[in-house]
Amino acid sequence: QADPAITELQPWMRYLGEGVDARPYGHPSEHEAHVVRRNVEWLTADPVSSVNFTPLHELDGIITPNGLCFERHHAGIAEVDPAQHRLMINGLVDTPLVFTMADLMRFPRVNRVHFLECAANSGMEWAGAQLNGCQYTHGMIHNVMYTGVPLRLLLEEAGVKTGGKWLLAEGADASAMTRSIPMEKALDDCLVAFKMNGEALRPEQGYPVRLVVPGWEGNMWVKWLRRLEVGDQPWEHREETSKYTDLLDNGRARKWTWEMDAKSVITNPSPQAPITHGRGPLVITGVAWSGRGTVPRVDVTTDGGVTWHEARMSGPSMDKSMHRFYYEMDWDGAPLLLQSRAMDSTGYVQPTKDMLRQVRGENSIYHNNGIQTWAVNANGEAENVEIS
């Protein structure tokens, strides 16, 4: 039978489409309307102080489109007028300074691709498999090219005094988000960024300016950045004491767990992206990242970890950036137990969830980088499971 998609004249083949004035700022095809950030409503008291999730299973390559980068706010999206925005540097500096956005644009700027992962990514999975979809289990991450001024240049402009060992970054939203950052990191690779993937930051990502703290937990990447204070001690504010500390089994908690451990996840197939084509060629793909460097290698298993295969890395491999991997196979229709295992440039191998629980217990919430398992049945449907 001839394919009507070929034999019938489709409307778009016959009639004129919209002109160049119709979409001055483009948007995705209406057929992609399901590709959106999603919230898990029962997680928090109010969407004003909550999180939504990047649809990783709908994306490929390593760059996250700006409109799909997960959001986490503590007092809603601040709608900042860039003309009224100021960045202040004060504290243990030779000259306290105020910059306008125009001032910031006159410093030398650089371009860097980095992942931003919330420390709570996969946090709901500490006690066991709970959410069906890599969007929910792993979607508190995005990977973007930032354009910004090296933080070092701004600090040098103010002149950090000898005792200046710590930096407090503060946001301009109604939560006035603060985090303490050691000066060594501030002078190393942090950026004060105003562009993402070439365009201005989105309001929900800190427009007009945010801090970029490569490889470190997302909460430190202060959005709507308005102030940098240099001090001789950490501030131990709410986000770095009562939150973003890792409570261990013995009731004591790790603090300053800034670096994100190496991690990976298979994005396809996954619960939201089942196999629909039956037997034959199957593309298994996913992403991997490490806060300590690059990810030169990812292994994939289809039998729950009895046998592993080295996956094919594809696309640029950059420091503290997301990496894309593929493993192609012929699917025979038998059930699969899929896992991926990242190995970063320091030799760190992504642990299993049980290995993490042995060291940290089940109350940690943050920094769950354990290996994810999807059980694919004979119909191609995938489920979030844990295995022995």
Partner 1 sequence: PAHADENTADTAPMEGNSDAAAGTDVVQAAADALEATGTQLSREGGFGLGRRALEAEVAAWDIDIRPDGTGLPEGSGDVWTGEEVWVENCAMCHGDFGEAVGRWPVIAGGWDTLDRKDPVKTVGSYWPYLSTVYDYIHRAMPFGNAQSLEPDQVYALTAYILYLNNVVEDDFELSRDTFLDVEMPNADGFFPDDRAEAELAQWRTEPCMENCKDAVEITMRARVLDVTPEGEADAVETAAEAPAEAVSATDMATDGNATELEVAEAEAETPREDTVAVEAVPAEEVAALDPELVASGEKLFRQCQACHAVGEGADNKVGPQLNGVVGRTAGSVDGFRYSSALEDANAEGLIWNHETLAAYLEDPRGYMPGTKMSFRGLRDTADRDAIIAFLASHGQ
Chain residues 186-215 in contact with partner 1, contact rule CB under 8 A: 187-189, 191, 214
Residue 230 in the binding site for partner 1 (CB under 8 A): yes
Rank residues 10 and 358 by Cβ distance to partner 1 and give the closer one.
358
Give 194-199 contacts, CB < 8 A, sequence gap 24+: 194/101, 194/104, 194/105, 194/147, 194/148, 195/146, 195/147, 195/148, 196/66, 196/69, 196/144, 196/145, 196/146, 196/147, 197/63, 197/65, 197/66, 197/144, 197/145, 198/145, 198/147, 199/66
Among 54, 294, 302, 340, binds partner 1 (CB under 8 A): 294
Rank residues 8 and 46 by Cβ distance to partner 1 and give the closer one.
46
- CA neighbours closer than 13 Å in the CB half-sphere of residue 214: 28
Rank residues 69 and 167 by Cβ distance to partner 1 and give the closer one.
167
The piece of 6-14, 18-26, 162-170, 281-289 that touches partner 1 (CB under 8 A) is 162-170
**Site residues (CB under 8 A) for partner 1, limited to 252-291:** 252-259, 261, 271, 290
Q: Cα separations (Å) of 375 from 121, 269, 281, 294, 382? A: 21, 10, 18, 28, 5
Retrieve residue 368's tokens: 């769950």
Residue 318 in the binding site for partner 1 (CB under 8 A): yes
Residue 145 in the binding site for partner 1 (CB under 8 A): no
Task: Write the burial class of residue 40 (CB in 10 Å: 0-12 exposed, 13-18 middle, 19+ buried).
Answer: middle
Least distance between partner 1 and beta carbon 44 (Å)? 4
The piece of 9-17, 58-66, 121-129, 279-287 that touches partner 1 (CB under 8 A) is 121-129
Residue 124 in the binding site for partner 1 (CB under 8 A): yes
Rank residues 146 and 331 by Cβ distance to partner 1 and give the closer one.
146
The piece of 11-19, 62-70, 198-206, 342-350 that touches partner 1 (CB under 8 A) is 342-350
Using CB under 8 A, count the residues that bind partner 1: 144
Rank residues 202 and 292 by Cβ distance to partner 1 and give the closer one.
292
Nearest to 257 by CA among 356, 134, 385, 135: 356
